[in-house]
A = this chain, B = another copy of it.
Amino acid sequence: MIRVAVIGGSGYTGGELLRILSIHSKVEITLVTSREYAGKPISLVHPNLKGILNMNFSQLSLDKIGDKADTVFLALPHKVSLNYVPKLLEMGLQVIDLSADFRLKDPEEYKKWYGIEHPYPDLLKKSVYGLPELHYEELKGAKLIASPGCNATATILALAPVVGNGISADLKFISDVKVSSSEGGMKPREGSHHPERENAIRPYEPEGHRHAAEAEQELSLLAKKPVKVSIVPHAVSSIRGALASAHAWLNDNYDDIEIWKKIAEFYRGRKFIRIIRGGLHPYPDPKYVIGSNFADIGFAQERRIMRLTMFAAIDNLVKGAAGQAVQNFNISRGFNEDEGLRAPPLRPA
**Chain B residues whose C-beta falls within 8 Å of the C-beta of A211 in the assembled complex:** none
The answer to whether A197 touches B199, judged by C-beta atoms less than 8 angstroms apart, is no
Query: Which chain A residues in 195-235 approach chain B with CB under 8 Å?
Result: 195-204, 206-208, 212, 228, 230, 232, 234
Of B50, B178, B230, the contact of A201 (CB 8 Å cutoff): B178
Query: Which chain A residues in 154-195 approach chain B with CB under 8 Å?
Result: 172, 174, 176, 178, 181-182, 184, 186-190, 192-195
State whether A201 and B342 are in contact (beta carbons under 8 Å apart), knowing that A12-B348, A207-B301, A207-B302 are contacts in the complex. no
Does A51 make an interface contact (CB < 8 A)? Answer: yes
Does A291 make an interface contact (CB < 8 A)? Answer: yes
Pick from A201, A279, A301, A313 the residue with the most CB of B within 10 Å. A201
| Count of this chain's copies in the oligomeric assembly | 4
Interface-lining segment among A69-77, A121-129, A138-146, A241-249: A241-249
A49 (CB) vs chain B CBs: closest residue: B344
Does A110 make an interface contact (CB < 8 A)? Answer: no
Interface-lining segment among A27-35, A281-289, A329-337: A281-289
Does A257 make an interface contact (CB < 8 A)? Answer: no
Does A46 make an interface contact (CB < 8 A)? Answer: yes
Does A2 make an interface contact (CB < 8 A)? Answer: no
The answer to whether B192 touches A193, judged by C-beta atoms less than 8 angstroms apart, is yes
Q: Bound complex: CA of A280 vs CA of B193, how far in Å? A: 13
The answer to whether A50 touches B274, judged by C-beta atoms less than 8 angstroms apart, is yes
- Encode contact with B along A44-64: 1 for CB under 8 Å, 0 otherwise: 111111111000000000000
Query: Which chain A residues in 273-317 approach chain B with CB under 8 Å?
Result: 274, 276, 279-281, 283-292, 294, 298, 300-302, 304-305, 307, 309, 311, 313
Does A347 make an interface contact (CB < 8 A)? Answer: yes
**Chain B residues whose C-beta falls within 8 Å of the C-beta of A304 in the assembled complex:** 208
CB distance from A56 to the nearest CB of B (A): 14
The answer to whether A232 touches B207, judged by C-beta atoms less than 8 angstroms apart, is no
The answer to whether B291 touches A291, judged by C-beta atoms less than 8 angstroms apart, is yes
**Chain B residues whose C-beta falls within 8 Å of the C-beta of A243 in the assembled complex:** 201, 203, 234
Q: Provide 21 A-B residue pairs closer than 8 Å at the C-beta atoms, listed in order of the A residue.
A: A45-B280, A47-B280, A48-B292, A51-B274, A174-B176, A182-B348, A184-B194, A186-B193, A190-B280, A192-B193, A192-B195, A201-B241, A201-B242, A201-B313, A202-B285, A203-B283, A206-B300, A212-B302, A232-B300, A237-B238, A239-B349
Binding site for B on A (CB under 8 A): 12, 15, 19, 22-23, 44-52, 172, 174, 176, 178, 181-182, 184, 186-190, 192-204, 206-208, 212, 228, 230, 232, 234, 236-243, 245, 247, 249, 274, 276, 279-281, 283-292, 294, 298, 300-302, 304-305, 307, 309, 311, 313, 342-349
Which 7 residue pairs are nearest across A and B when measured between Cβ atoms?
Answer: A206-B300, A195-B348, A237-B237, A48-B347, A48-B345, A194-B197, A181-B194
